[in-house]
Structure 1
Amino acid sequence: MSTGKLLDAMMAQASKPKKQTVKQQRIVETAIKMFAEKGYANTSTAEIAKNAEVSEGTIFKHYGTKDHLLLSIIVPYLKEFFPSMADEVFHEIMSENVATFEHFLHALLRNRIQFISENKEIFQVVVKEIFYKDELKNELLPYFAENIIIRINKVIEFYKERGELIDIPNERIQKMLFTFIGGFFVSRFVLLNNYTVSEVEIKDAIHFVLDGIRKR
């Protein structure tokens, strides 16, 4: 699912048997349903407890906070389905008219902006927790990198062969792209709480990646 809401996709997986108690399973299924219907910010642990027919103390006992409850739901899902999600994203983007690397960047940014806009609450929680929790950072970031690097490397090689990219090691290009694009999303969707990105901003970002800001 390159675009669309993660929670909607997760609802289809929630009923599958997992290594959880009956109460935990009810809590998880109820939380996913309520987060999807009402939004994460508008759903309280008290409401989840009531609808799951458990005490609020049971939620705190197993998960601690609402953020940790969301993470306990989203992290296993991402680890299971992220490779197929990444394949879908790159296949969809490369299927468009991406004749140049500039076109590729434009399609990539638009695709991910739409996805993050539709999952902004999840994105904010995950990013904030990664900032403050080394355990989560060490668990997720290498996993994301592993699944993205092999795919972005093929894109870089493709446009290098067409003579569009400078002849420096792919690893250096990858790091620069990850740093800029990651910072682009985090600054707008987490630090600034800006849920819309204009076409002008996208074009400015692409111009910066390709040409920098120094007058030539």
Structure 2
Amino acid sequence: MAKILQKSNKQTVKKKKIIEVAIATFAEKGYSNTSTSEIAKKAGVAEGTIFKHYGTKENLLLAIMVPFLKEFFPAMADELFEELLDEERSFEEFLRSFMTNRNTFFSKNREIFQVVIKEMIYKEELRHELLPYIAEAASKRLVNVIEIFKQRGEIKDVPNESILKMLSTVMGGFFVSNFVLLNKSSVSKSEIDEVVLFILNGLGQSH
């Protein structure tokens, strides 16, 4: 993440140092347990400098996450789908593996996920900035997955756009409600199984 941010020519030396320290401290102690005063001390700047450039700790996190998501998210999505999709895996197995993988990811990055989602809900400009990147990265790869399982006869032959809406609404809503609204640290295997069954009942072919 730090390497991605260092590519930006718009960052001053002080800003780069603040970002560098913030990334390391958030990773080590967690977002909630990190104060702006601690970041300032480690970065060798006054705390007021952080407030001057970013305003709040939330905005500092977003200054880290926005370029990271824009540049790294597509590559991360490629790696994830390549890892989870193979010729032997059924649609049900793919869904369960995908949900389990994302559960582990969000559990490890829960605090950051909560802040990003909260800010996207309340800041329209942030939604406009991030959602197209996330949607493009995810939708292209999901369409490929959908087509594969359609050809195998495991998914109903309905428009891909309708399937994408269902998958993003059910899976996205599941993780946001659990990790953000209910503030859970993780979700259980049985909860994942329920979501997978729900999707299969809507999309799966009956035999």
Matched, 1:132 2:119: no
Correspondent of 2:58 among 54, 67, 77 = 67
Q: Look up the match of 1:7.
A: none
The CA deviation string for residues 51-96 of structure 1, in whole angstroms up to 9 with x for no partner, is: 1111111101100100000000111011111111010000111148
Cα distance, 1:148 vs. partner? 1.0
Cα distance, 1:187 vs. partner? 0.5
Q: For 2:81 and 2:32, how far apart are their aligned partners in 1?
A: 31
Q: Look up the match of 1:94.
A: 85
Cα distance, 1:19 vs. partner? 2.2
Q: Look up the match of 1:77.
A: 68
Q: Look up the match of 2:205.
A: none
Q: For 1:77 and 1:183, how far apart are their aligned partners in 2?
A: 23
More deviation, 52-61/10-19: 10-19
Q: Which residue identity does 2:159 align to in structure 1?
A: P
What TM-score does the superposition give when structure 1 sets the normalisation length?
Answer: 0.89
Q: Which residue identity does 1:163 align to in structure 2?
A: G
Q: Look up the match of 2:38.
A: 47
The secondary structure found in structure 1 opposite 2:33 is coil
Q: How many residues matched?
A: 202
The secondary structure found in structure 1 opposite 2:185 is coil
Gaps of 5+ in 2: 203-207
**1:96–1:35: structure 2 CA closer, same or farther, 3 Å change rule?**
farther
User: How large is the RMSD of aligned CA atoms in angstroms?
Assistant: 1.5
**Structure 2 counterparts to residues 144-183 of structure 1, below 5 A:** 144-183=134-173
Alignment check: 8 A CA contact 2:104 2:186 kept: no
**1:58–1:96: structure 2 CA closer, same or farther, 3 Å change rule?**
farther
Q: For 2:109 and 2:60, how far apart are their aligned partners in 1?
A: 16
**Structure 2 counterparts to residues 33-44 of structure 1, below 5 A:** 33-44=24-35
**Structure 2 counterparts to residues 102-113 of structure 1, below 5 A:** 102-113=92-103
The CA deviation string for residues 91-139 of structure 1, in whole angstroms up to 9 with x for no partner, is: 11114852x2111100110111111111111111110001000001011
Alignment check: 8 A CA contact 2:31 2:111 kept: yes
The secondary structure found in structure 2 opposite 1:165 is coil
Q: Which residue identity does 2:148 align to in structure 1?
A: F
Q: For 1:209 and 1:23, how far apart are their aligned partners in 2?
A: 48
Alignment check: 8 A CA contact 1:97 1:103 kept: no
Q: For 2:119 and 2:87, how far apart are their aligned partners in 1?
A: 34
Q: Look up the match of 1:5.
A: none
Correspondent of 2:192 among 182, 202, 213 = 202
Q: For 1:112 and 1:96, how far apart are their aligned partners in 2?
A: 21
Alignment check: 8 A CA contact 2:5 2:64 kept: no
More deviation, 177-186/15-24: 15-24
Cα distance, 1:13 vs. partner? 4.6
Gaps of 5+ in 1: 1-9
